[in-house]
Amino acid sequence: MVGDLCFTAEELGIKYFLISFTDVFGVVRSKLVPTRAIGDMAKSGAGFAGFAAHMDMTPADPDMFSIPDPDSLIQLPWKPEVGWLASDPHMNGAPVNHAPRVVLKRVLDRAHTAGYIIKTGVEAEYFVILPDGSAIADSADIQAKPCYDQQALMRRYDFISEICDSMQGLGWDPYQNDHEDANGQFEMNWDYTDALQTADRHTFFKYMVKSIAEKHSLRATFMPKPFPDLTGNGCHVHASVWNDGGENLFPDKEGQLGLSDTAYHFIGGILSNAPALSAFANPVINSYKRINAPPTLSGATWSPNTITYGGNNRTHMIRLPDDQRIEIRLADGATNPYLIQAGYAAAGVYGIQNRIEPGKRLDTNMYTSQHSEDFERLPENLLDSLRALGENEILSDWLDAGFVESYIKLKKEEWNAYTQHFTEWEKTNALDV
C-alpha cells in the first residue's frame, strides 16, 4: 500500500495528499500531507483529535489516526498536484466504530457474507447561489416551471462543463447534466458502481462542485430546502443487488413490472424501516422543510410524504423505473454519503433475508390522492426520526448499536441547540398573547 501511493505520486506528479474522512454529521475533515510523508501516513494514518470534529469523543480521548484507502485516490482535476484519499479512522489500533465509512464497510461486508453485493448510483441536486447565500445566482432564471430550461442551463455552461469534464477525466462515466425543478437548481448524473465507491465519489462530488463554484465566483449548496418557495435538494439513490457471479438479482420476466421477489423484499425492508432511515436520509433540522412541504411554484415538491411505492411514479418514496433497479427518493442533499448507503443496504438485505413483503403497489398521484392520509407518513421533524431510530432494533443490529447510540446522542444535541434558538416568528405570534 505504501509503495503504491509513493509510486502513484511520482507517476502522476502529486505533491500533496488530502487524507479525508467524514464525521458523523457528514462534514469532510482532512489533513494536507506532503508526498514525502505519505509513506508513514499510509502505514499509521494521519492524526486527528476526534473531539474537534463531530465524533462521539471527549478531549481526554487519545489521538485518532485515519488510514487512507489507496483504492479511493482521486486526483483533483482543478488542482492536479493534489490527490484526495478517503480514509478509515482508527483509535488504539482498531477502527472507530461510529466513523461513517467504517459503518458502511461493516454493513457491506455482512451483506457480502450473505451472498449480496450492493450497487448504487446517486442523483445529487444542488443550487447555484450568490456567495452570501441570499438568492440564486442567476437573476434571469425566473420561469415558474424551470426544469430542463435550456437558456438557464447554458448560462452556466462554463461551470457545469468543467465539472462534467472533470468527471469524464476521472473515469466516472457521466451521462447527463440538467437544470432541475427549482430556479437555480442543477443535477449531474454518473454511472452506478459498488456502494462503497459510490459513497466515496458522492463525497468527493460535493467537494468538487463547491470548489469549482468558488473558482467561478459562485456558491453551491446541497442544503435540503434553502428557499421556502422552491423545490428542495433531493439525493435519490438507485439501488440493485448482485451476486458474486456478476448477476443482477432484480430482473425477473415473470415478476410484476419485470422485478423479482428479491427486489420486492428489498423494497419491503426499506419501507418497513423508513421512519428510522429518515434519521440518516434527512439528517438536519431543515430536512423537514422539504419533507411534507406544500407545493412549490412549479406545482410539486418532488419529495415523498408517505411510506409507499409505485411504478414509474415520482410521487412515492420508492419508484420502479425499470426491471434493473429501484429508485429510493427519501434522502436529501444533507445526507451523509456513507450512512445513507449503509442504512439502505442494511434495511434492504434484511428485507431479502426475512422475505418482507412491501404491500400493494400504488399508481396514484400521492400528492393529490384523497387516500394519502390512509398510509403511514414520514417523520415530521428530526426529533421524531431520531426516536424512530432509537426504537429500531434492525438498524442497531446491522449498523452497530454503539454507533446508533452515538449518532442519536450527537443529533439530539443539535436538536436541543435548535430548540433554544428564538425566531422572529415566535415574537410575531406570541408577543401579545
DSSP 124-173: EEEEEE-TTSSSBS-TT---SS-TT-HHHHHHTHHHHHHHHHHHHHHT--
* 91: β partners: 94
Burial of 428 (0-12, 13-18, 19+ CB in 10 A): exposed
Residue 168 C-alpha from the chain's centroid: 21
In whole angstroms, how far apart are CA 2 and each of 37, 43, 83, 172?
Answer: 10, 7, 15, 25
**Cell representation of residue 431:** 408577543
Q: Copy the grid coordinates of residue 255.
A: 415478476
Element (H, E) at 267: helix 261-272
The whole-number pLDDT of residue 3 equals 57
Rg of the chain in Å (alpha carbons):
22
- The answer to whether residues 124 and 202 touch, using CB atoms and an 8 Å cutoff, is yes
What helix, strand, coil percent values describe the chain, rounded to 5?
40, 20, 40
Q: Which CATH architecture has domain 2-96?
A: Roll (3.10)
Q: Enter the C-alpha cell of residue 313.
A: 411514479
Domain ranges of the chain: 2-96, 106-424
The SS3 call for residue 384 is helix
* Relative orientation angle of helices 274-281 and 401-419, to the nearest 10 degrees: 70
Instruction: Write the class of the CATH domain 106-424.
Output: alpha beta
Q: Are 125 and 290 in contact (CB under 8 A)?
A: no
pLDDT of amino acid 295: 77
Cα gap 177→171, rounded to integer Å: 16
278: left (phi over 0), alpha (psi -120 to 50) or beta: alpha
Q: Which one-letter amino acid corresponds to residue 229?
A: D
In the 3-class helix/strand/coil scheme, how is 64-133 assigned residue by residue? EEEEECHHHCEECCCCCCEEEEEEEEEECCEECCCCHHHHHHHHHHHHHHCCCEEEEEEEEEEEEECCCC
Contact 192, 198 (CB under 8 A): yes
pTM > 0.95: yes
pLDDT in tens, the chain (433 residues): 445 899 999 999 999 999 999 999 999 999 999 999 999 999 999 999 999 999 999 999 999 999 999 999 999 999 999 999 999 999 999 999 999 999 999 999 999 999 999 999 999 999 999 999 999 999 999 999 999 999 999 999 999 999 999 999 999 999 999 999 999 999 999 999 999 999 999 999 999 999 999 999 999 999 999 999 999 999 999 999 999 999 999 999 999 999 999 999 999 999 999 999 999 999 999 999 998 777 787 778 899 989 999 999 999 999 999 999 999 999 999 999 999 999 999 999 999 999 999 999 999 998 888 677 789 999 999 999 999 999 999 999 999 999 999 999 999 999 999 999 999 999 999 999 9
The pLDDT, as a whole number, for residue 1 is: 44
d(CA 326, CA 172): 21
